[in-house]
Amino acid sequence: KLMGELIARCGAAALGGFEETLSEAFDALSCYFPIAFTPPPNDPHQITAQHLLQAMLRTLRASHLFARLALPFFAAKLADDGDDDDEATERRQALQGLALLGPFYGAASLGPHADRIGDALADLLTPPPGPLPPVPAAAAAPDGALGAPDGALGAAVRETLRALASV
């Protein structure tokens, strides 16, 4: 919270050297991504990994200047290969970052990264090569619907697409 407030105030004051400091702040934040946190038993503060992710994303919203660093970072995290639980968590958190930050940063900031973000989203929506299991008729997607993954990752893909479509 403190870092976000400092960044917002420094940006508003247009202090010299702010952009270089912003890169250092981003490096300090991004090394904790993806957020992996298990609270201690009987935690009186009830802090969760989602709370920490939200705090990180709020800090990245403190300045539009973070866009040049955050957007390619999250696009790269989407494109990382792997199917284990850690990769799914990383992708889900990257999608949440894009859904929150994309509309805030705006079309001008998204433009230079649109191809990379679009390719990463397309890869998530494309089924893996090989035979697909049959889909019962009742569960089939309506014509033109995207084949987003199921579960939390699928919900994150859908939310990200809705958020980016609003830009």
DSSP 38-81: -PPTT-TT---HHHHHHHHHHHHTS-GGGHHHHHHHHHHHHH--
- Three-class HEC string of 86-104: HHHHHHHHHHHHHHHHHHH
Q: How confident is the model at residue 5 (pLDDT cuts 50, 70, 90)?
A: low
Over residues 119-131, the pLDDT tens digits come to: 999 888 876 676 7
pLDDT score, position 152: 82
For 14, phi and psi rounded to 5 degrees? 50, 50
pTM assigned to the model: 0.79
Q: Please give the mean pLDDT across all residues of the chain.
A: 82
Task: Classify residue 53 as left (phi > 0), alpha (psi -120 to 50) or beta.
Answer: alpha
Half-sphere exposure of 138 (CA within 13 A, CB side): 0
Does 75 have pLDDT greater than 80? Answer: yes
pLDDT of residue 143: 42
What type of residue is 50?
Answer: Q
| Per-residue pLDDT tens over the stretch 133-151 | 665 555 544 444 445 566 7
Mean local confidence (pLDDT), 46-65: 90
